[in-house]
Chain A
Amino acid sequence: MLTKRSIWAAPMLSALILVLFLATWQLAVRDTSPTAGMDPEYAKLMGAAVNTGKSAMPTPLDVGAKLVAAVMDPFYDNGPNDKGVGTQLAYSLARVLLGFGLAAIVAIPAGFVIGMSPLIGAALNPFIQVLKPVSPLAWMPIALYTIKDSNKSAIFVIFICSIWPMLMNTAFGVAGVRREWLNVAQTLEVSAWRKAIFVILPAAAPTIFTGMRISIGIAWLVIVAAEMLVGGTGIGYFVWNQWNNLSLADILLGVLLIGVVGMALDRLLGLCASAVTWRE
């Protein structure tokens, strides 16, 4: 009885919170009274905020309507500066995966080296500590100046922001492999290469995946900001473009989609991590 209730209790409570939230939202942004006595000719030239006292904040229904429209036609193409949200998300995902993939190619081997060699680890540590806290967006002007291509610069920014958690976690996981296992490998005269692939990698895999999970989360956070800066395509550009138009309903739609995609990415790497997790 108790178990059955606990299965349903959390989702029910979630639904209740959502309903309460939406209801409060709907009530909070009701129209105020319109400005009285305005010249009708003048009123024609003014926006809804002035004419009907409509709040600049959209209602949940406005956002819902946008969501339906976006889901019905996610890939429309009205020219280079106006594409559907599906297309925009695809651009952002492609950038994130490319930058993240490149970072993984660099960070995981480098993390191995740092984790296996305390000397190299100690030597590189000051550099890593200085570079790690730099906001990835601070790299943007430098990237634009040196790489001379805005799209590659955005990918570079993703690369630079996702490299550190993977590097640190890989190094930590590799350094933390149990002494006994390494000793056994040494006793059996396993080559360094085999030791790395068959002993250290499986042992460190859960930590490495944790690093990757943190990285993809950061990368997804950063891509929105990077695309706002360089523009052109991507979900970040979509949000920026709608901000210029002060269309908050579209911005909220963007926020919702960014959240959902971010969650999906996190779940995906979470599943990978649990697949390689081992218990003693």
Chain B
Amino acid sequence: MLLIHCPYCEEDRSELEFRWAGEAHIARPENIAAISDEEFAEFFFLRNNEKGLTYERWRHIHGCGRFFNAARDTVSDRFLLTYKAGLPKQPVPVAEKFAAIAEEKSVETWEQTEGDAR
């Protein structure tokens, strides 16, 4: 059960109160009616699904109701940063980044534990 810092409530709350809302910083094109099929596919269908540091949206749906952005390490599940919706992509502080890297090394990944079995 993750613990998530809501940038509006300014408090850590249980994952129970939140809902994940997909990759962050994908702006809906202003001229959406005019974009090409490729641009539409890029905007609507294609996601990076990155391993490691990813920026994603969450909604504090059973709390303040706000959508916000989070930088999370998908390997360790650590939240490195959360910030309000509408702000540009925030850099992850260096200290957090180091901690994340150390953690990544310490965390058992599927590849490490089961990958060999495959």
Q: Do A and B bind each other?
A: no
Interface residues of A (CB under 8 A from B): none
Interface residues of B (CB under 8 A from A): none
